[in-house]
């Protein structure tokens, strides 16, 4: 593992129910060593918020708040599935867990709701929030784990970003969020967890992940 690098790793909500999810949680807990922060997707909890908004006509601002709480719920579920993971709600707690050499599951609602500059709409999902957190933490690597067949995306790096946006693989604000940042951003299919069996390193991602 590249111990000097901080990884922000977004686990998409679509991984819930996949046999790959326990493997991811086990590997990240094993190799985290204070240098991994997991960003949970919204999963079925965010789907419930979308349905509730459709039924109630609630504002996008309220839906944004509830969607953040949905990420909190999925994050608590992830930590409950793997007891070697710990949760954190803010930068101080993340740092403290890092000093304890633990892999962290971020519960985002507290930090994000405190930042009035974050757009309150469905254009901002856990994708953009993972980039937002990577910026806050001065991370070295941002990795999005998704249930998408990346073999169908063989374009150049610039064309790839547009295709992912057009296909709804990433949210509408994600590309702006990673533009000009110091960290490297990659997408990886959920079933490719074996690249980290020996530890977290970028070398294992060369063949499987797509660089943005």
Say how far apart CA 102 and CA 47 lie, in whole Å: 30
Say how far apart CA 49 and CA 206 lie, in whole Å: 37
48, part of any domain: yes
Say how far apart CA 108 and CA 125 lie, in whole Å: 11
115, part of any domain: yes
CA-CA-CA-CA dihedral for 108, 90, 117, 70, to nearest 10: 10
107, part of any domain: yes
Q: Which CATH number is 30's domain given? A: 3.40.1160.10
How far does CA 22 lie from the centroid of its chain?
Answer: 16
203, part of any domain: yes
74, part of any domain: yes
Q: DSSP alpha helices (H): ranges in 33-188?
A: 43-56, 60-81, 91-99, 109-113, 126-137, 157-166, 174-178
2, part of any domain: no
1, part of any domain: no
Name the pTM for this structure.
0.96
Work out the number of other CB atoms within 10 angstroms of the CB of residue 106. Answer: 29
Query: Cβ contacts of residue 94 below 8 Å, gap of 6+?
Result: 37, 88, 104, 106, 137
Number of domains in the chain: 1
147, part of any domain: yes
pLDDT in 10s for each residue of the chain, 212 residues: 455 899 999 999 999 999 999 999 999 999 999 999 999 999 999 999 999 999 999 999 999 999 999 999 999 999 999 999 999 999 999 999 999 999 999 999 999 999 999 999 999 999 999 999 999 999 999 999 999 998 888 778 878 888 999 999 999 999 999 999 999 999 999 999 999 999 999 988 988 999 99
Cross-strand pairs, 37: 8, 104
Cross-strand pairs, 36: 7
* Domain of residue 31, residue span: 7-211
């Amino acid at each position: 593992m590249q111990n000097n690098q901080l990884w922000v790793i977004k686990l998409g909500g679509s991984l819930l129910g996949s046999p790959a999810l326990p493997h991811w949680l086990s590997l990240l807990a094993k190799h985290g060593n204070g240098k991994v922060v997991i960003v949970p997707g919204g999963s079925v909890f965010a789907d419930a918020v979308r349905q509730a908004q459709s039924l109630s006509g609630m504002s996008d601002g309220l839906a944004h708040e509830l969607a953040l709480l949905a990420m909190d719920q999925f994050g608590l579920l992830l930590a409950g599935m793997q007891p070697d993971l710990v949760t954190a709600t803010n930068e101080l707690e993340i740092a403290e867990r890092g000093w304890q050499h633990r892999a962290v599951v971020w519960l985002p609602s507290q930090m994000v709701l405190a930042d009035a500059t974050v757009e309150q709409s469905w254009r901002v999902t856990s994708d953009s929030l993972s980039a937002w957190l990577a910026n806050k933490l001065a991370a070295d690597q941002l990795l999005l784990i998704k249930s998408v067949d990346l073999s169908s995306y063989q374009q150049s790096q610039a064309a790839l970003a547009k295709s992912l946006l057009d296909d709804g693989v990433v949210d509408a604000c994600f590309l702006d969020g990673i533009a000009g940042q110091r960290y490297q951003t990659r997408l990886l299919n959920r079933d490719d967890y074996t690249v980290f069996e020996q530890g977290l390193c970028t070398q294992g991602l060369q063949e499987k992940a797509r660089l943005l």
